Amino acid sequence: MTGTTTTQAQPRPDLDGDASIRRLSIGPMTLEAGGHLPDVVLAYETWGSLNADASNAVLIEHALTGSSHVARGDSEEEGWWDGLVGPGRTIDTDRFLVVSINMLGGCYGSTGPASLHPDGKPWGSRFPFVTVRDSVRAEALLADLLGVPSWHSVIGGSMGGARALEWALIYPDRVQRCAVIACAAASTAEQIAFAQAQVQAIRLDPQFAQGDYYGTVGPEGGLGLARRIAHITYRSEPEFTHRFGRAAQGAEEPFGSPLPAERGRYQIESYLDHQADKLVRRFDANSYIVLTEALMSHDAARDRGSLPEALSKAQAQFFIAAVDSDRLYWPAQSHELATALPGEVTVHTITSPIGHDAFLTEIAQLEPALHAAFYEDDDDGAA
Ligand SMILES: CC(=O)SCCNC(=O)CCNC(=O)[C@H](O)C(C)(C)COP(=O)(O)OP(=O)(O)OC[C@H]1O[C@@H](n2cnc3c(N)ncnc32)[C@H](O)[C@@H]1OP(=O)(O)O
Ligand SMILES: N[C@@H](CCO)C(=O)O
């Protein structure tokens, strides 16, 4: 389904040491649903070095609005899995080359709706529908260019987990170990429903202009509303009750009687406003739609028979984990995935009151089990 590796004649990029963001053209791609991109560029970061037999490369896949900045490395900016990835950490960058790639369709440097079409104007509304599988096929073309024939391990949470799983299914001989954290075998009806409400919030913003808003303010209100809806699903009711209760913003006390003449704001409203503002400042609305619709498309069994039949193609050792309070990717869905995988696969649990986002904030809980499963000294062949 993808373009050919027409750029493979390029010299292999320098992979030594911690890198700031780099970009490589992987050439043209024809997409799973039929769209075409004449020149795809992927932006990526690396930490550590590739060993002589290229056996120590680890791919880490980011979530929906995440980026390739997994670890701080030499940069000022903290990474979203800093505790997990770095010198001497569970994913030890003194032993492994760690690669993280910004998703096709996103807004952190890889080709996306804000990129320029060959006519010199942004793709905008013309950007084609991409799937999780397209993104993985693009990453495989990049791996070819990086000189990585197979991954020691591919690991991801949430949408990153969907990409990790697809890697193991599309390229079974290129993934030796695969960790799927807080993710399911397919996006469920409820996950699609939450996603559709977010996409509609953006599309219904008058500033959206059918996606051709570049050079204008753009659909900031719609994107902010999408983030509010999403963020509620990323956290939990007990956390919200414990943190905010019915308290008014700027006061520790609940809204009492008499109610203030001005309605004011509940703390939870202020918190959601803040989450929305933060995302609006760092994310492109078209990319939000493209990536959300890609996640809606996630279905490991599509065109592959039953789920166990689909998963039987994988050759990797699997590590599956769930957050016990996740109300978006329910633990039962991780168990369903583990049960359908070949062999005995354990589901590891992150115990947290906060819900789905604990795969980011509480990843340390998985470190002993992940280390034992994938990264013991004598288990990886890494130099
Ligand atoms: C390039 C990039 O940065 S993207 C890559 C990194 N990010 C990702 O991968 C995923 C996106 N990030 C996230 O989803 C979140 O930031 C997480 C999950 C990582 C962080 O979650 P937590 O640490 O639990 O943060 P939490 O949800 O409590 O939010 C804290 C923020 O809410 C603010 N806040 C708390 N209460 C209130 C309130 N009553 N009113 C307004 N703001 C409030 C805090 O001041 C804090 O603000 P800050 O983030 O600007 O410092
Ligand atoms: N907070 C995460 C959750 C999605 O899994 C993100 O914004 O990407």
| 183-236 pLDDT per residue, tens | 999 999 999 999 999 999 999 999 999 999 999 999 999 999 999 999 999 999
The owner of tokens 């990717």 is 329
For ligand 1, say whether the CB of 359 is within 6 Å of any of its atoms: no
| Average confidence (pLDDT) over 158-167 | 98
pLDDT at residue 9, rounded to an integer: 40
What phi and psi values does residue 17 have, to the nearest 5 degrees?
A: 80, 175
The whole-number pLDDT of residue 13 equals 62
pTM (predicted TM-score): 0.94
Average confidence (pLDDT) over 286-311: 98
User: CA 92 from chain center: how many Å?
Assistant: 21
| Chain position carrying tokens 């590891």 | 348
The verdict on the CB of residue 328 being under 6 Å from ligand 2 is no
Query: Cα of 372 to ligand 2 centre, how many Å?
Result: 27
Give the number of the atom of ligand 2 that is nearest the alpha carbon of residue 66.
Answer: 8
- Least Cα distance to 284 among 45, 63, 64, 36 occurs for 64
- 3 pLDDT band, cuts 50/70/90, is very low
Q: How confident is the model at residue 18 (pLDDT cuts 50, 70, 90)?
A: low
Domain ranges (residues) in the chain:
22-187+300-379, 192-293
- To test the pocket of ligand 2, the residue of 108, 180, 360, 361 to mutate (highest count of ligand atoms within 8 Å of its CB) is 360
Question: Residue 48 has which token pair?
Answer: 């550590």
What average pLDDT does the segment 298-320 reach? 98
Active site residues: 158, 326, 356
Q: Can you say which residues are annotated as belonging to the binding site for substrate?
A: 227, 357
Angle between helices 285-296 and 220-234 (to 10 degrees): 40
3-state secondary structure of 184: coil
Under the banding of pLDDT at 50, 70 and 90, the label for residue 8 is: very low
Show the DSSP H helices in 245-379 as ranges.
267-282, 285-296, 307-311, 331-340, 358-361, 367-370
* Yes or no: domain 22-187+300-379 corresponds to CATH 3.40.50.1820: yes
Residue nearest to atom 12 of ligand 1 (CA): 66
- pLDDT tens per residue, range 353-378: 999 999 999 999 999 999 999 999 65
pLDDT band, residue 265 (cuts 50/70/90): confident
Closest CA relative to residue 177, chosen from 64, 55, 286:
55
Domain 192-293 classification at class level = mainly alpha
